[in-house]
Amino acid sequence: KLEILEFPDPRLRTVAKPVEKVDDELRKLIDDMFETMYDAPGIGLAATQVDVHKRVIVMDLSDEKNEPQVFINPEITPLTEELAPYEEGCLSVPGFYEKVKRPARVMIKALDRDGNAFEIEADELLATCIQHEIDHLEGKLFVDYVSRLKRDRIKKKLEKVHRLQG
Ligand SMILES: O=C(O)C[C@@H](Cc1ccccc1)[C@H](O)SCc1ccccc1
Ligand SMILES: [Zn+2]
pTM score: 0.97
pLDDT of residue 166: 80
Residues in the chain predicted with pLDDT less than 50, given as ranges, are: none
Nearest CA to ligand 1 atom 4: 44
CA atoms of 26 and 50, how far apart (whole Å): 14
The answer to whether the CB of 73 is under 6 A from ligand 1 is no
Chain mean position to CA 138: 10
Return the ligand 1 atom nearest residue 91 CA.
3
Q: Judge whether 58 and 84 are in contact, CB under 8 Å.
A: no
Chain mean position to CA 22: 20
The answer to whether the CB of 128 is under 6 A from ligand 1 is yes
> What's the CA angle centered on 141, arms 12 and 69, to 5 degrees?
85
pLDDT of residue 137: 99
CA atoms of 45 and 4, how far apart (whole Å): 9
Q: How far does residue 92's CA lie from ligand 1's centre (Å)? A: 10
